[in-house]
Amino acid sequence: MAILIVRHGETEWSRDGRHTSVTDLPLTAVGEEQARALAPRLAERDVALALTSPRARARRTAEIVGFGAAEVDERLVEWDYGDLEGRTTPEIREDHPGWTVWSGEVPGGETPDQVGARCDAVLADVLARVDVRERDVLLVAHGHLLRVLAARWLGLPPDHGRLLRLDTARLTELGHEREQQVLLRWNA
């Protein structure tokens, strides 16, 4: 049993590498197909609790994979990119050479530690509600947020999420090896 995390399917901005947090974009046709392809793998799981970001792209992905009644959790929104919303990393680097979301400033947005605190709160609530050694939990959300969440599960600082690439509509499993919280499967 595990915490199953799923990044939403493709949107126009995820396809184009644009930082997307508060802009509520729909899935593309490819994104819908990606989610449909993932559905059979989730149908086999014993999911006791399903949570989703309130953004339409995450809610639609949850619906397509068979969890349309997933509970909306505001803490699962994507990293707030503030003034950088809608811009690509190369565009940002024109003004701020070497910038990354993990180590650079995000004017008007969140820091890695702020995102990490949200993820810690989600994980604490999930573990208080479900014994993930016995049943699965599904979280449908966003790329950077879920990378931070995985880092926090592993006991790593939030910015270590930079080491974990996460593609659209992929399944990741966070679980245990004995008492140790581990990564069971990534970006599958």
Q: Which amino acid is at 25?
A: L
* CATH superfamily of the domain spanning 3-185: Phosphoglycerate mutase-like (3.40.50.1240)
Dihedral angle at the C-alpha atoms of 100, 105, 106, 107, nearest 10 degrees? -150
Cα–Cα distances (Å) from 96 to 10, 53, 64, 132, 137, in that order, read 27, 30, 39, 42, 39
d(CA 152, CA 120): 7
Cα–Cα distances (Å) from 52 to 60, 62, 84, 122, 138, in that order, read 10, 7, 24, 11, 8
Q: Which amino acid is at 114?
A: Q
Q: Is 8 a catalytic residue?
A: yes
Confidence grade of residue 163 (pLDDT, cut at 50, 70, 90)? very high
Read off the pLDDT of residues 61-90 as tens digits, 9 standing for 90 and up: 999 999 999 999 999 999 999 999 999 999
Catalytic residue of the set 78, 85, 142, 160: 78
d(CA 83, CA 100): 14
CA 80 to mean position of chain CA atoms: 13
For the residues 46-71, what does the mean pLDDT come to?
98
Cα–Cα distances (Å) from 187 to 77, 124, 151, 171, 172, in that order, read 19, 23, 14, 6, 5
Q: Is 78 a catalytic residue?
A: yes
Question: Residue 140 has what pLDDT?
Answer: 98
Which pTM was predicted?
0.97
Residues 6+ apart with CB under 8 A from 131: 1
